[in-house]
Structures are given as C-alpha cells and as structure tokens.
Structure 1
C-alpha cells in the first residue's frame, strides 16, 4: 500500500458541532413543551388565563395591601388610603405573624431560655448538613452524633432540671420546635423499626411473621388520632399506681409506632422487587441470613423505594399537627391558639396564620422531596437525567 493511498485517513476525531439553533433555547422548549399539539395549545392558553385571573389579586392581598407592622388588631382593621381591596377589605395581617413569631417557633417556652432550643437547632443543622452530603467524611461518627448523642443532649437541654438549668415542662413546648422534634424522632425510629417489621413479615418463622403482620395490620387499620388518644388518655390506666409517662413522650411513641407500620410496607415492597437470583447468588457465596440481608438485599431494596420512604417521611411531618387534639401545640396548633387572642381578632387574621403555617410546612416538605430526587440521581435508580 502506497503513501498516497492512506493520505486521507484522519489523525484526530472530528470535533462535535453545536446543536441546530432550532433545537435549543427558550423557543424550542416552548414549542415542544407547551405548544406541540393543538390540545397542548388549548390547555396552555387556559392555564395562562387562569393564572392571570388568580395571581394579581393574590399578590395584592398577600403583599401590596398587606399590613406589615402593628401592635394590635387595629393595625389590620385600619384601611389606609390606597390600601383597600375592591371589596373594602384590607390585605393579609403580617403584623400578627410578626408579633407572634416567637410563639410560632417555640410555643410558650420561656423567652429567657430561647437560647436552649436555638442551640439544639444549631447543633442539629451542623450535624445534618454533612450527613446529607454523600461525599462528606466520617459518616459513622456523624450518624452516631446525630441519631444517638444529639437526642439525649437535646432532651436534657430542653427539659432542664439538671446542670443548673431551670426546668421547662413539656406542656410549655410548642410551635415549630415540637413539629421538628416529633417528626425527627418519628423518622429516626420508624426507619429501622420498619426494616425489622418488613423482614419479620417475610420471615419463615411463623411466630415472628404472625407478630409482625398483626402489628402492621392493626396499626395501619387505626387512625393516628386514635393512637394518640390511647397513648395520652388510656395508657396511664394500664400502668401501676404511681407510674406515669410524660404526655410528650407518649405522643413520640405513638407517632413513631404509627409511622413504623407504614414504613414496613414500603420497605417490604422493595424487598419483593429484588430478583430471586440476588438471594441465590448471596447463598452461593456462603453468606448467612444477616450478611445477605445487610450486604446484598437491603441496599438494593432501599434504593428502589426511596420515593416511598420520603413520601412516608413527608406524611409523618404533616401528621404531627394532629397532636393538637391531645392538647399539645405544634406549629399549626399554636397558630390556632393565638387566633383566639382578642388583641388580634380580625377577619384576615386566621387566613394569614394558616398561610404562614402552610408555607413553613411546604418549605420542609419540598426540601425533602428535592433531596429525594437528588439521592435517586446520585444512586442511579433509574431516574431520568
């Protein structure tokens, strides 16, 4: 073969060319996502019309005509010049939220002791952030501090009565602090208990399987309100004379057990989705039951049910508002309690308080949802990238 015959062979690959301008950019996205077909065009136009109808008055009520400062209800009843809506009503009463903000966060916790829940929150945040970062080092130590050490330290710090700290009874706890404590403890307890219950329900030992199945079916068949009532009112009747448990602790136990039953079914679905060959392959390697479960089965099952696990966590976070029924004041409960304050009784106060509480719940739930999607992509569980 002569030199002239191979002179056309390239020594380097051709550099990729940019995509055509018609296939990228905002115009392409609008054409493919919103105006691709006549049906898409109709629904897009209807959606835009609906948003144009509802957003302007909502913005006016929430922000433009809202009352931001004030010391009592008269600030929200006074309609300043140019500050009235067409129906003569004033906008949202954010002055009420501003005045009651500390109670919305800490309930009736003594204001002079706010540093204690703030210190717990700072420690919780400092430990949670590296725990959520996949590449952060010292995961084992971080988990030990977050899930074991921090709850114990937080209990003694918030309750007091020791180490020179004044005692603060749990009935004085409230607001977002109670919501976070209940949901965090429920999440921490429900996941390992749910795993054990799911494994027990699939066990070949009849007694273990029957006990786990009975617990799951009974708890799932009872409303959370019933469990909270039982833990708060009926449980003390079964205890020996002189024995008692703090009502807050009873609520923690009730919420954790309730979430564990639902978590067990979510995880059982992941276990059933594992191909039989994975079990047989683990057996062929000579792994015992616990080695096979810990190293082979559970890592795959938990990845498959990440959406279901996070969905259970989100439901648990919102269900904590039901403790209001047994006389405990979480975020929503403390908002309801403060609406009965005659100094802030106006037609717009209840709606403003509910919007504030709903926004706080949405922030936490949306954050958990986004982190779930991030973990799906990180673990490559089939999520579209």
Structure 2
C-alpha cells in the first residue's frame, strides 16, 4: 500500500452534531451553564405543567354560565361571552363593520407593500399609508355627518381596537418628528441643536404616566372656558410627545454609526444638506436602527395600557371592567391571560416583521 494513501475521514462525534450537539454546545458547555440549565428546567417543570393544566387540560370550554364552571381551572366561555367587549369596547354593535373594514384596508396595504416588486409603486403605497390612511381611519372610526357616517364619540371606543389606535398613532406620528429631532440635535445651528437637546432630555426624564396625567388634567386648564379638548386626543398627543424623544435618540445612534466617509463623499459630490441627509445618510442610519426602532415601538405598544389612568378603556382596562358583571364574578384571571396572549401575538408579529426588514435591507452580503 502506498504511503500516500490517506485514511477516510471519520464522522464527527455524536456529541458535536444534531440535537445532542446543540444541547452540549448551548446548554451544557460548562459546569456553570449546566447548573443554570438544570435550574431553568426545574423552574419550567414547576410552572408549565400547572399552567397548561389550568389553561387547557382541566379548563371548561363549553359551560354557558359562571355557576356551571365548577372546575378549579379556566372558564373560557367567559371570553367568548365578552369577546365583543374585549375587541371593540362600548362601540355600537351595529357599527362593527367600520373597524372591521379598517382592518381589511390595513391588511390590503400591508400585502400590497409586501407583494409589489417595483420599488416606485411600493414607495407610493407606503407614502399613502402615512398620508391618506390616517384620514380614512379617522372618518371610519369616528364618523362624519358630511359623509353620512354616524358619529361615534371616543368615549365609546375601547378594547383591542383602542389599543391598536393609540399604538398606531403614537408610532406613525412620532417617527417623522423623531427624525427631525435627531437631525436637529446634530445641526450646526446652535439654537436648533440646543432646543432639540432640551426637548429630548426633558421628555426622557419624565415618566409617561406623568405626561398622560398632565395632558388629561392640566392641559385643559390652559384653554379658555368653553373649549372642550377630546380626552383621547389629549392622550394621543401625550404619547406622541413621549415616544418622539426616544425615537430621536435611536435614530441619532444610527446617524453616528454611519461611517464618516459617507458624509465626506456626499459633500464631495456637491449635495446640499437636505439631499445628503435624505438620500445618503438617513437610509443607512434607519437600516442600522431597525432593531432599536422596533424595540421602541414594542415598548410603546405595552405602555398604551397606562391610558387607563386618564379614563380610557384599552384592552387591559376592559379586562378589569368585564369582571364587574355580576354573572361572571371572579373571572378576572381569564381576562388578563387572554389579553396577555393577544398582545404577545401582536408584539411577536412586530418582532418578526423587523427581522424581515433587516434581511431585506441587508447590504452586507
């Protein structure tokens, strides 16, 4: 046999491949990781089986009344009974077609952005989403005597519908303002720079609950007698002002991450400040900031539950309100668990969408 004959390569040990290899590399790679993994598994053993038993295995799904739910577990027919309250609040049942139509329009916009291949058409749809869509949403939900749509006062809005409205308005309104504040903080004009810094630092130093309280209680005191400012609108303004400061800082971080050579190349090409920022610098900064921007929006979505303190009944507040029904006393836990699951699904979809955006705008490969 020739001395140059090479031996056949052996397969990798089973402890380095497949499921066992993943477990050894990620969970049991050291004594510390092994101890933490075993402790975590023990906690899951204590929490998950009783939770699944309460939610699924021992739960009541078909009982029609609270008295029929005799098991020491969840009674999910309560959620079915109060579903319209959780979804729409006190919105008139004969007008449910309006928020349902708005959902269909929203999904159409999202699908159009996803399916359109031509970049110009995609940008037009996205622009209309920011410009036209808010007016469509307002006239559908609130109504208009001119258009012959019954007016439904915001006092009747509630549930998931209101939660999504508050979060969507806060996201859409705070994003462009945050961009201008981030640019203002880097401006060479001292007045604009210091005003931007003062606003951002002031708002970031105040809790959202304080801003909502000021918008709901203190703001009307500055208006003359007879002027009635809608309670929901006040909350939306407060949330937008709060979120704007955080978005501005996230985008400023993206601006600082753009290589200095990009600024110099844009200047060398003779671009104006506006052209340089909106065509060269901002697209790169926004791409870099996608994870942090979505993280801020997710935090805002969760913070919408604070509107309860100003008398606005979002989905979590509805879970509290529904338990006042004498026929369903003691079912608060089911309501809170249901709200938690719905919000988790929405936030998970937002997170997954941010991953999609990262891959779409990734220019590294």
TM over 0.5: yes
CA RMSD, 1 decimal: 2.3
- The 1-side partners of 2:268 and 2:144 are apart by 57
Aligned length: 354
| C-alpha displacement of 1:287 | 0.7
Distance across 2 between alignment mates of 1:355 and 1:203: 47
Which of 109, 115, 120 aligns to 2:97? It is: 115
Unaligned runs of 5+ in 2: 1-8
Corresponding residue number in structure 2 for 1:34: 27
Q: Which residue of 1 aligns with 2:4?
A: none
2:58 paired residue among 55, 65, 89 = 65
Query: Which residue is equivalent to 1:149?
Result: 132
1:311 to 295, 310, 321: 295
Cα deviations across residues 55-98 of structure 1 (Å, max 9, x unaligned)?
Answer: 2211111111112234432133x23xxxxxxxxxx101212111
Structure 1 unmatched runs, 5+: 1-16, 80-89
Compute the TM-score of the two structures, normalised by the length of structure 1: 0.86
Q: Deviations over 1:319-362 (max 9, x none)?
A: 1111111111011111111122221112xx12111111111111
Q: How does the TM-score come out when normalised to structure 2?
A: 0.90
Structure 2 match to 1:159: 142
Equivalent position of 1:11 in the other structure: none
1:357 aligned to 2:326? Answer: no
Aligned-partner Cα distance in 2 for 1:115–1:169: 16
2:44 — aligned with what?
Answer: 51
Structure 1 pair 136–268 and aligned structure 2 pair: CA distance change class (3 A): same
Cα distance, 1:39 vs. partner?
Answer: 3.6
Q: Could you list the structure 1 runs, at least 4 aligned residues long, displaced by more than 4 angstroms after superposition.
A: 17-24, 132-137
What are the equivalent positions in structure 2 for 1:1-385 lying under 5 Å apart? 22=14, 24-76=17-69, 78-79=70-71, 90-132=72-114, 135=117, 138-162=121-145, 163-346=147-330, 349-380=331-362
Give the Cα–Cα distance (whole angstroms) in 2 for the partners of residues 337 and 233 of structure 1.
22
Alpha-carbon separation, structure 2, partners of 1:237 and 1:360: 37
Pick which of 50-59 and 93-102 moved more: 50-59
Cα distance in 1 between the residues matched to 2:190 and 2:139: 42
- 1:91-134: CA deviation from partner (whole Å, max 9, x where unpaired): 01212111111110000001111111100111011112333568
Contact 1:203–1:209, Cα closer than 8 Å, also in 2 = yes
Distance 1:221 1:48, change over 3 A: closer
Q: Which moved more, 1:31-40 or 1:295-304?
A: 31-40
The Cα offsets for residues 190-216 of structure 1, whole Å up to 9 and x where unpaired, read as 111001001111111111112211211
Cα distance change on mapping 1:225 and 1:48 into 2, 3 Å? closer
Which secondary structure state, in structure 1, belongs to the residue aligned with residue 65 of structure 2? coil
Shift of 1:141: 2.3
Does structure 2 retain, via aligned residues, the 8 Å contact 1:303–1:381? no
CA distance, structure 1, for counterparts of residue 116 and residue 199 of structure 2: 34
Alignment partners' CA distance in 2, 1:19 and 1:270: 45
